[in-house]
Amino acid sequence: MEARLNLFDNSDAAKALRSFVSAGKAVGDSALPAETQQLVAIRASQINGCGFCTDMHTKDAKEAGETSLRLNLVAVWREAKVFTDAERAALELTEQGTRIADAAGGVTDEAWANAAKYYDEEQLAVLVTLIALINAFNRLNVIIQQPAGDYQPGQFA
């Protein structure tokens, strides 16, 4: 399986992707916990059916010390005992922010208030940015059918 299109071979698309990557670096360098960032990226990617991003963020999280148990339970985080209340709040915000088209009214006040209990305003801004960014990356990869499985941790560092 090969991708329909190599976005890096197109100068305009490559320029846009560099901006996405730059935004991702700003998120990565923020005060939002790295573990939370990976969980959010994995969960949005699972929802969106983005194999490439699911592969990438799962491998990067594992490389950073995340446990297989937690990685295996991200999709069923509500039933799993291995996530903190803060992580659960971030995952709920991620799900609602990713499924905006499926939910009348978008993100609920309850989900927002719960996230605000654990993350300050700066971290919330980064969390929202991360949710939007991973959804954009997911859509790019799903549209071009970017294959999953070959990613090596740190490949794009």
21-74 pLDDT per residue, tens: 999 999 999 999 999 999 999 999 999 999 999 999 999 999 999 999 999 999
The yes-or-no verdict on residue 103 having pLDDT over 80 is no
Range name among 4-18, 30-44, 86-100, 130-144 with the lowest pLDDT average: 4-18
Tell me phi and psi for residue 62, to 5 degrees: -60, -45
The CATH number of the structural domain formed by 32-144 is: 1.20.1290.10
- Assign 81 a pLDDT band (cuts: 50, 70, 90): very high
Average pLDDT, the chain: 95
Instruction: Write the DSSP assignment of the chain as a string of letters.
Output: ---S--GGGSHHHHHHHHHHHHHHHHHHTSSS-HHHHHHHHHHHHHHHT-HHHHHHHHHHHHHTT--HHHHHHGGGGGG-SSS-HHHHHHHHHHHHHHTGGGSTTSS-HHHHHHHHHHS-HHHHHHHHHHHHHHHHHHHHHHHHT---S---TTTT-
> pTM for the complete prediction?
0.95
Q: What are the residue ranges spanned by the domains of the chain?
A: 32-144
Q: What is the pLDDT of residue 24?
A: 94
